[in-house]
Structure 1
Amino acid sequence: MSQYVRMSWQGGRLGASTRGRAAAEEGLQKSLEHLLTEARKIVPLDEGTLERSGRVVRAGVNGFVTFDTVYARRQHEELTWKHLPGRSAKYLEIPFNRDRDVMLRLMAVPLRRWLRG
């Protein structure tokens, strides 16, 4: 069973502009890639299978980060398990909450460029 964080943004002006929608998609992609990078830094590590299973999945202005192993969810939720130094349960939740502002800025940059264009 996989563990994932889903993000989407729905903006009123995007429906009328393919360039605006493309800007939103670009920003979302960058934000999700940032989350995946940060999650991989703290994902529990034994043989690296869980870390390698992480990926970004996006469809338009909807997307999510997933770690797709049968034990991904349990590793994420089980707070009593011991991990190597620097590795942790809540490997998606921690960087998502910590870097929320960074991720929002990553989504905003292409939209600002489009709005100014």
Structure 2
Amino acid sequence: MSRAQVTFNGDAALAAIRAGALRGVRLGAEHLLQVSRTRVPIEEGTLERSGVVSVDESSLTAAVSFDTPYAVRQHEELDYRHDAGREAKYLEKPLREESDTINDIIAAQVRRSLG
């Protein structure tokens, strides 16, 4: 009868999973920002350039935001006219449409961290 010894290092595995998840959350948010920038209303490009990703490492969460005095109004006002391909809900719509891709990005980074 042969024997095998298996050692499970749970702390290292959890640390690797967390690092992968953090990397995935950041990359997923960057993906959302990139897609949103293609839809943000544009006149001079100020709103588009104001987009940023913020990551809270302790909670493994990310936020994508646009920081101009009129960002919220441009996002919410459905009656404004925009150039072709540009629209209100420039952050909300891509989040819904890209959620599977974002989840795939996160999952891939977690898998990569364990490989």
Instruction: Indicate the structure with greater strand content.
Output: 1
Q: Secondary structure of the residue that 1:64 maps to in structure 2?
A: strand
Unaligned runs of 5+ in 2: 1-9
Is the aligned partner of 1:104 residue 2:98?
no
Residues 23-78 of structure 1: CA deviation (Å, up to 9, x unaligned): 01000011000000000000000110000000100121111000011111110000
Is the aligned partner of 1:20 residue 2:12?
no
Alignment length (residue pairs)? 103
Shift of 1:102: 0.5
Return the match for 2:39 from 34, 39, 42. 42
Q: Secondary structure of the residue that 1:99 maps to in structure 2?
A: helix
Higher Cα Rg: structure 1 or 2? Answer: 2
- Once residues 39 and 94 of structure 1 are traced to their aligned partners in structure 2, the CA distance between those partners, rounded to angstroms, is 8
- Once residues 109 and 85 of structure 1 are traced to their aligned partners in structure 2, the CA distance between those partners, rounded to angstroms, is 34
Mapping for residues 1-117 of structure 1, pairs under 5 Å: 17-60=14-57, 61-115=60-114, 117=115
Task: Give the superposed CA RMSD.
Answer: 1.6
Code of the aligned partner of 1:56: V
Q: Equivalent pairs: percent with the same residue? A: 47
Runs of 4+ in 1 over 3 A off after TM superposition: none
Q: Secondary structure of the residue that 1:36 maps to in structure 2?
A: helix
Code of the aligned partner of 2:105: L
Unaligned runs of 5+ in 1: 1-12
